Structure 1
């Protein structure tokens, strides 16, 4: 009887909420997929259930590759994303390590200021940043985004890594330095391997925001063949009040694949307490 009550409680309070949340979370992706596979004749047909796929076509995907510059958009997005992520992660590791491991006056205040910098909306920054981009002569080039994306990637990633570095026992680093390792060697060989879950979290965060960013990409690199996927999709597939829903959803599906792959391969590395017991024994 007790076991039956426990099972009923788990179903009501655990499995049902999880199932509802999963449906709510995955429904947008399901909707994009079925719209991208429907022929145009069924997209606005009210006599057909919109949740079912009665006919199948790849015409919208062929349209993307044959009538738009989608492969170029994908390449531009990948170059900018990997470049900005690498630059931001390098700076964030150094900044997070300094704020998380060193003890100096004003360190906590500086860490809070770094996080508050992330809260500044991009709509306030793109005008002064556009002047910087033009002055350096990198408008409509990859460097225009690779150097501007870190303005909102580094603050949050540094704050995240700062908190993670603080969870690693200082004794590990001190023992390595007593054995003759320098500060850089101790960070590279001892601290960074233990902080791998935090580093991967910061990397995935930076990758996702860079891949989906729209405003800076539109202003700094949104003309000609240098468009990214968000900018090219909006500019070329939405014309006045005409929305090409099939190609739009096909571009959304293809644009979501890299982010989904990144999460799929690295989600297992989100491990807490990786250093628990590291100094015991």
Structure 2
């Protein structure tokens, strides 16, 4: 049995405090800056000086910021729903059907993960321009589905692989078609896995900056990430108090989604990670 020596305990606590500092210090600094008056933004006090809710009040009463928030919710929930549906059908096809080219398509799904997002943006931008979708929400929705598809499909495929084929064969004997089997038997059983993919897609689209700034340039259609950058970051000056307060507000929806659905997220990932 491994014995924890004094040296190991010292190393463990130093390592824990160091990692904790890297993780929590930026968060605490952001909260501290959001609570400072504009005149004290660059003072070195840490939760000891004057505190105010003025920055938060400005953010929640700013119609432009709330419009960005609404746009982000629309795009993130929409892309999450679309990605989950597409991943579910693709994963079920790969798991329960055998057809020519199946392994090739599965391999291409994973190969797409090897390309940097900035490289793929070049082809996606041209594609959206050719199809007339550039500047619309559809450009973002399709892009986010594309990036969620490889991880989501392979995760759900591992999940579907655990379902016994006898269950599906019994349903077919009873006269159920493929769609009825998927919607009434298979998908209800795999809800945790599908929720984990929905959360993954939501967080990915919510945090995206590169694609939202490139594919949508209309100020009224900007999402929260790109809207905050264009609003508070300038060449001459930057209002860090407003920026930090807006960042905290932007983190609330993702935090709420994860807190309430984390058990499904963990259950879905762990179940999909083990092939029975």
- TM range, normalised to the smaller chain? 0.7 to 0.9
The answer to whether residue 154 in structure 2 is matched with residue 159 in structure 1 is yes
Partner Cα distance (2:194, 2:14) in 1? 34
**Taking structure 1 as reference, are residues 183 and 138 closer, same or farther at Cα in structure 2, changes over 3 Å only?**
closer
User: Is the aligned partner of 1:135 residue 2:130?
Assistant: yes
Cα deviation for residue 148 of structure 1 reads 2.5
Task: Pick from 70, 82, 88 the counterpart of residue 77 of structure 2.
Answer: 82
**Which range moved further: 56-65 or 92-101?**
56-65
Moved more, 248-257 or 131-140: 131-140
Change (3 A) 1:176 1:25: farther
Task: Kindly indicate whether structure 1 or structure 2 has the higher relative contact order, using CA contacts under 8 Å at least 6 residues apart.
Answer: 2
Secondary structure (helix, strand or coil) at the match of 2:217 reads: coil
Equivalent pairs, count? 270
1:193 matched residue in structure 2? 188
Is 1:157–1:202's contact at 8 Å kept on the other side of the alignment?
yes
Aligned to 1:225: 220
Q: Render the CA deviation track for 1:34-55: whole Å, top value 9, x for unaligned.
A: 2211222332123x2x3x2532
Q: Does 1:250 align with 2:209?
A: no
**Match of residue 263 from structure 1:** 258
Asked whether the 8 Å contact 2:193–2:271 carries over to 1, the reply is: no
- The TM-score normalised by the length of structure 1 is 0.83
Shift of 1:207: 0.4
Gaps of 5+ in 1: 277-281
Contact kept, 8 Å, 1:222 with 1:231, in 2: the verdict is no
Q: Is the 8 A contact 2:87 2:149 kept in 1?
A: yes
2:199 to 184, 199, 204: 204
RMSD of the alignment, in Å? 3.0
Is contact 1:96-1:161 (8 Å) kept? yes
Q: TM-score, normalised by structure 2?
A: 0.84
1:175–1:27 Cα change, 3 Å:
farther
> Structure 2 residue aligned with 1:40, among 27, 33, 38?
38
